[in-house]
A and B are shown apart, each in its own frame.
Chain A
Amino acid sequence: MTITEEKRPAAEPGAQPRPRRSAWVWGWLFTGAFSVVAVLLALLGYLGEGVAGGDVDWAGLLTESSWNPSGSVFGGLAMIYGSAVVCVIALVLAVPVGWGAAVALSEYVPGRTARALRMSVELLAAVPSIVYGLIGILLIRPFVGSIADVPGGDSLLAAGMVLAVMIMPTIVAVSVDSLAAVPDRDREAAFSLGLTRREVIRSAVLPKARAGMRAAVLLGLARALGEAIAVFLVVGRADGRLPGTLDQLLNSLVRPGQTLTTKLAGPEPVLAGTSGTYFASLCGLGLVLLALVAMATVWGNRGASRPVRVARFRGRRSAGRSRVQVDRFVAALRLSALALPVLLLLGMFAVLATRGSAAFDPSFWFTSATGAAGGGVSDQILGTLLLVVTCGLIALPLGFGAGVLLGVHASARTARVLQTLTVVVGGTPTVLLGLAGFVIFCSAMGWGRSWLAGAFVLVPVVVPMVALPTCARVRSLSPEMTESALSLGLTRAQYIRSVVVPYTWPATLTGLLLGLARAAGETAPLLFTATVFFGAPALPGGIVESPVQALPTHIFTLSQDSGDPQAVAQAWGSAMVLVLITAVLLSLAVALRNRFEGERWTT
């Protein structure tokens, strides 16, 4: 932001009136907030229009299991079942470990180590889902194939395991935040009453952190429900599999299946045209998915911010000696739970580093691809950077505007509604963003595959990640400071410019970097809108029909060809490059946060 200084000779001090330029600031803030609403409207408009364009049999969609477009049978129950099963498997595996690890990280591990571990967990949480998908294909799928009689290992179980690995870091990170928010004096007070560490955690720490830890699970669930690509690669995508008996139910876990997201990420939405019952039924599935994910996200975020209710004390007094033993046993259990994500992290980087060793060769970064799976990935890197930078340029002002408006808006109700909407946009399954972008930009506006469409589609991913931390930071401004500024005669706009912006920018920029790290790894929104596997120039020459190549979609295409060792090597190399790019963005964000967030801007 620049303030243009007009040079006018002042006849006497104070003769010049105050510059009246507040309108544009408000315009900016409202544009930001409106962009959030607009994304939701566009999304609902696209899905609603689709549903209205054909004759959807809602009862059939929600209760029938058979999906057969050529016979005009559209039953979605098997997909809903698939989605439910993979999420349940993911939660059952990830929640106990995630919670245990979070408690260990926050309560047992000494400060310096804990900080390093927390950062690694955040890094894990930011690893693009396509990389998890790749790990799923090459490690988890064969593992499932070896324990059950299923060709290749494509199954709901494999998908659930991939999701478990994927959401565990999210659960740990959010839970640790809520544990760390419990003040140390609570622990001190409990310790000084003679409680063991386990008892302190149970009766002093967990009651205050419980809401946040529950929220962590819901956020993990929302992520699992909305994930398309990682599941797509390992679930087998078999329609109409719905078990009737308990026996079949257990058996269905190790059989291929289909989920809501994988149906939408497949080729069908593009083949189905843009009207008719087929398309309408797909849009109906999209609505169901959006509603489920929105519910989980909104609940999760509400839980995190809601004041803690007093929990019933469920403890039982035990005798002196066994107390100590129980304490040791629980500590061991929790530390071993922490070992799992740590091993996961080390294992993942070991696998990435060995299999993706191509990425350590500079020529891999700086030469173009040759043939289907040879050469380097310089075009893909450039394409990804182009998409991410364009997206960031659009998302930064919008997200900042929305965040500041949320933070300073006078009416509490408007702020609450807007914040909920922002949270919903942030949790929207990206595959839906991709489909909406495909219909709006590529078909209706006639852009075809276009890098700009891809950048636009990524914007809703980044905007909430800029807006929410900005809003939190604005709200942490002390009321005294606001009052001091206003009592010196500043207008609201001048106050925003001179007080709010200098105070919030570190949070804004951190959010932007984290958002871009996520956008860089998004695959599903780009598949239909912006990228091709091969044959596009490194940098596009126009907007209409100018696709680019990008790293995530490159990995996605290569990894579906898992029989070809050269393609696999190329995929791992590209994954390593992508992880390195994400890691750079992330460490910049963390460094920025550590440098500025703790620093008090005023006293």
Chain B
Amino acid sequence: MVTKDRACYGPVYSIKVNNRLMRKNTNTKVSGWIKWGGLCVMLIAGILVAQENSGQSANSVDSQEPAVEQPADGANESENLTEVPAKQSSSETQVFTMDRYEALMAGIAVFVVSVFVGFEVITKVPQTLHTPLMSGSNAISGITIVGAILVVANCVATHDKFALFLAGLAIALAMVNVVGGFGVTHRMLSMFSSKKKKNKSA
């Protein structure tokens, strides 16, 4: 089944990367962590896949299953992964639809894989550049500005003034991060690179 393959994609890839790291024997501690991380994710993925199966069988056997209300569209009717919490909430539908499951799994896979990409890329950064690396990656974590800008649209749609205030504040803070981070990184890196053999006056 396509979904299962997708669900397993992250862990499988992680093991691949891990093997490569192990073979190079660059950083055994990191590779140990990766191994455990990969195993944990595989475990979670396994649980989710197992639940999916049990949900299906429950769907096919139990006829009273659709007691939980479903979205009215016909796109995701056949396979519902139902995860009924201990306490039924009043307002929201707790149907864990296939669409959402797939989106979540894809998100987690993206997360895991990019952590490994990060490991691969960053282990090659020399010690000399560790401070610029930190400030540069700091600037990259200012990517929350994307979230902040997108949330503004929601705030406007729901006419929530307070949420809008928070979003505006978030934009300003993320911008400090982005501009300050990239700026100071550039300042540091240009000190490293512009080495015309010293001709300054002592």
Q: Do A and B come from one complex?
A: no
